Amino acid sequence: MSCTEEADRVRLRAAVLALDGKDKPDSKKDFFADLGSPVSPLLMRATPSSSSSSAGSAKSPALCNAGEAAGAGARGGGSVRRTQSGELAAESNPPRPPGHRRSGSGPLIFSGGGSSSSAAGGNGGGVSSTASSSLTNAHPTGNICSSGRAAAAPRPRPRPDVLGSGTGHYGHGSIMRGGGGAIETPANFPLESLQEVTRAGNEVYKQGRYGEALRHYDRALALCPDSAACRGNRAAALVGLGRLAEALRECEEAVRLDPASGRAHGRLASLCLRFGMVEKARRQLTLAGNVNGSDPAEWQKLHKVESHLGNCMDARKIGDWKSALREADAAIANGADSSQLLLALRSEALLRLNKLEEADSTMTSLLKLDSASLSSVSTKLSGMLADSYIHVVQAQVNMAFGRFDVAVAMAEKARLIDPRNAEVGMILNSMKLVARARAQGNDLFKAGKFAEASIAYGEGLKYEPSNSVLYCNRAACWSKLGRWAKSAEDCNEALKIRPNYTKALLRRAASYAELECWADCVRDYEVLRKELPSNAEVAESLFHAQVALKKPLGEEVSNMKFGGDVETVTSI
């Protein structure tokens, strides 16, 4: 053994003996305090040297401390610094890592957990590679205590895996080691608060973009499904889209979730009024008033709708169809614009006033309504349930326009809704008989049996005396039989019921031509010419009728060819 190695061993033993009774090894707490944050780099970490000499570079804080302590013992207070190559060199006033205490001139020595077998040395007494190797073999791990025994190495604390913001990608975020980390949400998956979603919905709602508003309110409802306010917002967007039945259900759910919400009761009352549900609207307005006072304007609308609806039904009972139509229109104008019942009353009044096109248009509007069920409407008309009455009116309008099969189907639906009502049963039976008579008449007409066909159509008129289609069909039978006067007569009856019935007008004009009633013929063709401006047959018939009308008056027409102008009209 060389003198230098012997001196190193002496100094190392002296350092160990100096610990006896003066210092204790660092606690586990102090050891981990030195590691710092699990995300941050370790304190006192040495940079590996590019040199492969036995002098080596320090690879652990323990060996760095050992080199510092040994150098201090040899030089009486020197320090260690890191060179460009990563080796430790002497410095003055070195910073000591926190948790490492020194008592007197005896240092604390840590054995590193790394695999390096060399420690940094300095002039005059650094720890050589041989000494480091022998120490490592003697005491593999742990601190060197004053007793000379190796202390147990402190066990590192378990560090849980948490989601961090590193560069790796493992699902959402990257995995980092350490304790106490917070979960970071990726940028493409932001957490939305209920207030933010609702605010966004309100902005587009104010701009009239109800579809976008509904999508925002749907997300808000997903975040808070038991919120009456979210239900109310969704109902408002549905009203803007015309989906009133869905809006009504949302309002009913909002009231269920928050019975103390005056606003929810008020919104539900407004929708009930639009559907013509007067009793339910009154009940909701009363509940809203009990909470925070209801709107007097809503009460006024309710009273007006209720009054006009009652007057309409009274006028219907006595057959005053003009008053019934007027009162129905007033009720609709005062807020009950989506009431199927009022639209049915209006359609029936128009039908009885022989305004079939308007009646049919009103029924089309009724069918387009996104209406709620009328199960909550207790109103009865002639003993019929409201829903059954609506189907009866639909059947009557379809029958008037010759849609016999559809009419029977509507009457059957009314019967299913109100099976005990005698009037509904009578209407259904009558419509079935009319439809059967019409079908028989059509079959006979196709077979060329025009007299029998006229009788069949007459049977149908016994059950439905105001059916313009049956009159027009019978007029066709009379024209085939050459009975032009009777044909014109049936056409007159059809046009009284349905003034704009084009087919009946054509047959009447043809009948007048055969009867040489040229003035009446020209009048009918002139009306048809306006309704059918591109119809060449109508134009030619009108021309010939005009020429025929002028001849009996003693007028001469120089150009008798159709398509030319009637140029000269002279009196004889």
* Cα angle 486, 490, 491; round to 5: 115
296 class by beta-carbon count within 10 Å (0-12 exposed, 13-18 middle, 19+ buried):
exposed
83-92, 249-258, 444-453, 490-499: range with lowest mean pLDDT: 83-92
Please compute the mean of the pLDDT values over residues 13-40 and round it to a whole number. Answer: 40
Average pLDDT in the chain:
73
Question: Pick the residue with more confidence: 354 or 124?
Answer: 354
Distance set, CA 102 to CA 22, 46, 68, 105, 512 (Å): 9, 21, 11, 7, 132
Q: Domain for residue 15, yes or no?
A: yes
Tell me the C-alpha distance between 236 and 251, whole Å.
9
Note whether 5 and 128 are within 8 A (CB). Answer: yes
- pLDDT attached to residue 289: 78
Tell me the C-alpha distance between 539 and 191, whole Å.
73
Q: Domain for residue 556, yes or no?
A: no
Q: Domain for residue 535, yes or no?
A: no
The count of domains in the chain is 1
Neighbouring C-beta atoms of residue 496, cutoff 10 Å? 14
- pLDDT attached to residue 381: 74
Note whether 305 and 334 are within 8 A (CB). Answer: yes
Q: Domain for residue 359, yes or no?
A: no
Give the pair of three-digit tokens for residue 286.
């009363």
Tell me the C-alpha distance between 40 and 24, whole Å.
28
* Cα angle 372, 374, 375; round to 5: 115
* Alpha carbon 562 to its chain's center: 63
Backbone phi, then psi, for 564, in 5-degree steps? -90, 175
Q: Domain for residue 64, yes or no?
A: yes
Neighbouring C-beta atoms of residue 299, cutoff 10 Å? 16
3-state secondary structure 196-212: HHHHHHHHHHHCCCHHH
- pLDDT attached to residue 24: 39
Please compute the mean of the pLDDT values over residues 542-550 and round it to a whole number. Answer: 88
Q: Domain for residue 93, yes or no?
A: yes
* Alpha carbon 1 to its chain's center: 89
| Complete DSSP assignment for 101-154 | --BTTBPP-B--SSS-------TTTPPPHHHHHHHHHH--SSBB-TTSPBPPPP
Q: For 452-468, what is each residue's pLDDT tens digit?
A: 999 999 999 999 999 99
End-to-end CA distance of the chain: give it in Å, rounded.
163
Domain assignment of residue 128, given as a range:
3-138
Q: For 157-188, what is each residue's pLDDT tens digit?
A: 444 333 333 333 333 333 333 333 333 333 33
| Complete DSSP assignment for 186-245 | PTTSPPPPHHHHHHHHHHHHHTT-HHHHHHHHHHHHHH-TT-HHHHHHHHHHHHHTT-HH
Please compute the mean of the pLDDT values over residues 305-317 and round it to a whole number. Answer: 94
Tell me the C-alpha distance between 109 and 496, whole Å.
121
Give the helix, strand, coil percentages of the chain, each rounded to 5.
Answer: 60, 5, 35
Note whether 223 and 192 are within 8 A (CB). Answer: yes
Its pTM stands at 0.61
Q: For 243-286, what is each residue's pLDDT tens digit?
A: 999 999 999 999 999 998 888 999 999 999 999 899 999 999 99
Please compute the mean of the pLDDT values over residues 73-79 and round it to a whole number. Answer: 43
Q: Domain for residue 32, yes or no?
A: yes
DSSP state letter for 376: G
Q: Domain for residue 502, yes or no?
A: no
